[in-house]
Amino acid sequence: MGGAGLKGGPPGDLYINLTVRPHPVFRREGNDVYVEVPVTVADAVLGGKIKVPTLEGPVTMTLPPGTDSGKKFKLKGKGIPDRRTGVRGDEFAVIKIIVPKRVTEKTREAVREIERAY
């Protein structure tokens, strides 16, 4: 229901433009949700328990030893519910290995020792 038409004509159309800002943590693709999960080099090499944010709050996930950066893990049923069926999509936790920006000499030597192990 737009504004009144000219000379008593029918009203025009009403257009509404919406802009949806991207979420700072989650990215949506259809009913699936993607989240980047930062882990340390030690977590990636040794594995262990990590916290993964979901739409319903954080969950604990076991990261296997030797996990590469960019590896995706599926959290079944943690995505967006389908409007027609109600079946939830999945969440994909994408591992992102974080590297320290400041490195001490002790850390350098430890990294060199790891490099020699390859």
In a domain, 20, yes or no: no
Q: At 41, which helix (H) or strand (E)?
A: helix 41-46
In a domain, 67, yes or no: yes
CA distance 7 to 14: 19
We report the CATH number of the domain holding residue 44 as: 2.60.260.20
Window from 3-7, 96-100, 106-110 with minimum mean pLDDT: 3-7
* Residue 6: strand, helix, or coil: helix
In a domain, 3, yes or no: no
Q: At 105, which helix (H) or strand (E)?
A: helix 105-117
pTM of the model: 0.77
Name the residue range of residue 81's domain: 25-117
pLDDT tens digits for 56-106? 999 999 999 999 999 999 999 999 999 999 999 999 999 999 998 889 999
In a domain, 44, yes or no: yes
What confidence score (pLDDT) does residue 4 get? 74
